[in-house]
Chain A
Amino acid sequence: MPRTRKVRRLSTRDKVILAVMVAVPTLIELAFVWLPTLFSIGLSFTRWSGLDLTDIRAAGTDNYKFVSQDYPPFWPAVQHNILWLVFLALIATPLGLLLAVLLDQKIRGSRIYQSIFFVPVMLSLALVGVIWQLFYQRDNGLLNFLLGTAGTPAAVDWFGDSNVNIWAALIAATWRHAGYVMLLYLAGLKGVDPALKEAAALDGANAAQTFFRVVFPAMRPINIVIVVITIIESLRAFDIVYVINRGTNGLELISALVIQNLVGEGQVIGVGSALATILLVISLVPITFYLSRTFGKEAKES
């Protein structure tokens, strides 16, 4: 009896270790995530040049009014973020799914194709910018060369023309996003019990019916993850437009505006914090949705 009690009861040392293991990540999280977040929300109600702490002055909701009424790039940025979301959801994510389904067939060289499609996900953003520059350049780019317009006045300025550059950037973004989605779906497809497919085939379902009625619904957990990832990717879209022209001239995104107002000489802490807070509030929607789906379900099961 004393022996089992000894096992079940935590010694002081265990308690200390446990406490440290819980406390350290909690403190890190508090220090690096939650405190700055709260500071940022607080700063969004102030005017501050970012240089001297004594310069901070209360501003009420002025920064939010400024952003929504007087700051021309803000609404285009919101529209572009929405466009980004729609494009990823309707084009990039289904493309990734299609690639995954195709590669899941027992075709020869499947691994090689997987690697090819996944490479863009691993590339650094600077490299992605350089690669797409080669395609899109007005005078020497591959695309204008293929169109036969390179070097002529009819050449399309893919990154410089504000009517087309958002689409050019979206295609570059799709190039990365589809590979990411493909990998997740491939993992999901491997996890689907082959017996399900066999049963569907016995019932006379064709390949499309099997996929949409049986396999796809069976991947429900992956689907939720994909939805959340797609939303988040569209909200934090940043790197590609920043490489192209730092998010100006037709490529405004909320994240790029946050950076522009918070970093560098153009620092206006209040306005930048207000933009960051707006982005945070929007981001909380999918996060809350995801957490409630995941943990809500676990709570029911247990």
Chain B
Amino acid sequence: MNTQRSGSSAQITLPPSLMNRRALLKTLGVGAVGLAGVPLLSACTGGSAPGGGSSGSKTVSFGSSASDDVPKRAYQAVVDAFQKKSGATVTTNVVPHNDFQNKINSYLQGSPDDTFTWFAGYRMQYYAGKGLLAPIDDVWEKIGANYSDALKKASTGPDGKMYFVPNYNYPWGFFYRKSFWAEKGYAVPKTFDELKTLAAKMKADGIIPIGFADKDGWPAMGTFDYMNMRLNGYQFHVDLCAHKESWNQPKVQSVFDTWKALLPYQDPAALGQTWQDAAKLLGDKKTGMYLLGSFVTQQFTDAAVLADIDFFPFPEIAVEGQDAIEAPIDGLLLSKKGGQNQTAKDFLAFLGTPEAQNAYYAVDSSNIATAKGGDTSKFTPLNKKCADAISNAKHISQFFDRDALPAMANNVMIPALQAFIKDGSVDIKNLESQAAALYAAQ
């Protein structure tokens, strides 16, 4: 609502003499529509779904942020399979990915769909803690056996109840082209020093050693997370994200100091390009390696290039070798309203089965199914490696923006990391004072 208000105050600043009456009315109209925008949007994404919320009619409304072509078709395959199996009707409302995330607050307070796509971690616990989600312990009784303890833990809310059904996850690591490395004689680095040596060699060979893109602000968080976990351990990452640890301490400073040694090898054009741009550079052999999630492979439409892609985990630095892996989990939540709809719960229970996850994976193979017993026969060697990396890890972290307060990730970390990438400077004292103010406001 507040955005709309600032929008309408911008409207009154137009000098009245410029406007004839019609224009004035039009402006007021625009203001009014803008104001009405929030409820209208939530209405068309959810409230209008026929029968949503009623328990007897066997219908489910499903809000999906999977707006890109591949995941959109993949979710449709899951929906089709469920409809065929149960005879229920699922109404899917697809909202562009970023819009969905930007509107989530008003969406959940308005009339959300029964079930909707979201992420695990603090990002899920935050809304669960605010009472905007329905617990699904009864669903987990049916599907619990399909999941590992790490995934169960990631689906648990702050009150100990279950809220989330994982669909897939994907590891972060350094991706590279096998043939290119073989041709140049590069070897996978195991330690941070080896990584630096390799990067220096690549630079001498005239290529950009490490692909990097941070125009959108979030990709640099992956580098931060890994450096932080390798230097200070997984638990410190979790505590720092939850602001149980102060930002103003040598442990945090050491992350930036270590990163600074890597900065000269990362693509200097990072701030002007998106991850898709950087993925293209990797595919074209203009960069040696690229630290990103395995979704990077969605960009390689040429089958020959895709088959040539491999990855290695972030090298060890200090404390725990390579035990922790960053592997964000995506899945479904049940809205408060959807809690009264048994069919919606059936849909969630279905998603937690190997059958549903196979249906998803058959279309979108860039992600790894989370339920045990899924069909792995179609896994490519890269898929298998991704799945192994996740199942062998002792700790699975979410991404910074999923483990931390959203305002901390969006309003503080994005500008701070962009400034750091520019000239290697960071003010951890200021990070702490911002964190203190923002976490206190929640």
Contacts and interface: CB of A to CB of B under 8 A. Distances in A.
B12 interface: yes
Given A43-B2, A72-B416, A32 B32 contact: yes
Interface in A251-279: 255, 258-273, 276, 279
A264 B102 CA distance: 4
A225 B5 contact: no
A61 interface: no
B105 A33 contact: no
B272 A160 contact: yes
Chain A to chain B: the 5 pairs with minimum beta-carbon distance, closest first = A160-B272, A266-B410, A36-B5, A265-B406, A264-B102
B201 to A, nearest CB: 19
A223 interface: no
Given A236-B10, A259-B3, A290-B15, A268 B441 contact: yes
Contacts of B442: 49, 55
B409 to A, nearest CB: 7
A110 interface: no
Contacts of B17: 225, 294
Contact of B418 (A32, A47, A71, A248): A248
Nearest to A260: B411
A271 B442 CA distance: 12
Given A162-B422, A267-B406, A248 B415 contact: yes
Interface stretch (A15-23, A113-121, A192-200, A227-235): A227-235
A118 to B, nearest CB: 15
Contacts of B108: 51
Interface of B: 1-6, 8-15, 17-18, 28, 31-32, 35, 101-105, 108-109, 123, 130-132, 215, 217, 269-273, 406-407, 409-411, 414-416, 418-419, 422, 427, 430, 433-434, 437-438, 440-442
A84 interface: no
A118 B138 CA distance: 62
A67 to B, nearest CB: 10
A66 to B, nearest CB: 5
Contact of A32 (B31, B132, B273): B31
B39 to A, nearest CB: 14
A123 interface: no
A71 B415 CA distance: 10
A32 B8 contact: yes
A50 interface: yes
Contacts of B9: 33, 36-37, 276, 280, 283
Contact of B414 (A39, A40, A248, A270): A248
A232 B433 CA distance: 33
Contacts of B131: 52
A175 interface: no
B433 A70 contact: yes
A28 B8 CA distance: 12
A287 interface: yes
Interface in A119-171: 138, 157, 159-162
B15 A229 contact: yes
Contacts of A33: 8-9, 11-12, 31
A134 B115 CA distance: 40
B271 A249 contact: yes
Contacts of A228: 15
A62 interface: yes
A245 interface: yes
B13 A283 contact: yes
Contact of A28 (B3, B32, B101, B410): B32
What DSSP secondary structure best describes chain A's contact surface?
Answer: helix
B204 to A, nearest CB: 15
Contacts of A268: 407, 411, 438, 441
A48 interface: yes
Given A225-B17, A248-B414, A37 B5 contact: yes
Contacts of A265: 101-102, 104-105, 123, 406-407, 409-410
Given A232-B13, A287-B13, A160 B273 contact: yes
A73 interface: yes
A161 B418 CA distance: 11
Contact of B437 (A43, A70, A138): A70
Interface in A30-68: 32-33, 36-37, 39-40, 43, 47-52, 55, 59, 62, 66
B217 to A, nearest CB: 6
A269 B5 CA distance: 12
Given A51-B109, A236-B10, A272-B2, A72 B407 contact: no
A272 B441 CA distance: 12
Contact of A266 (B269, B271, B411): B411
B271 A264 contact: no
Nearest to B423: A162
14 contacts: A28-B28, A40-B2, A43-B2, A49-B442, A51-B108, A52-B131, A160-B272, A162-B271, A184-B18, A228-B15, A236-B10, A248-B415, A259-B6, A265-B102
A108 to B, nearest CB: 30
B437 A40 contact: no
B31 A62 contact: no
Contacts of B109: 51
B335 to A, nearest CB: 14
Contacts of B433: 70
Nearest to B13: A232
A160 B278 CA distance: 14
B13 A236 contact: yes
B441 A40 contact: no
Nearest to A52: B130
A301 to B, nearest CB: 15
Nearest to B434: A70
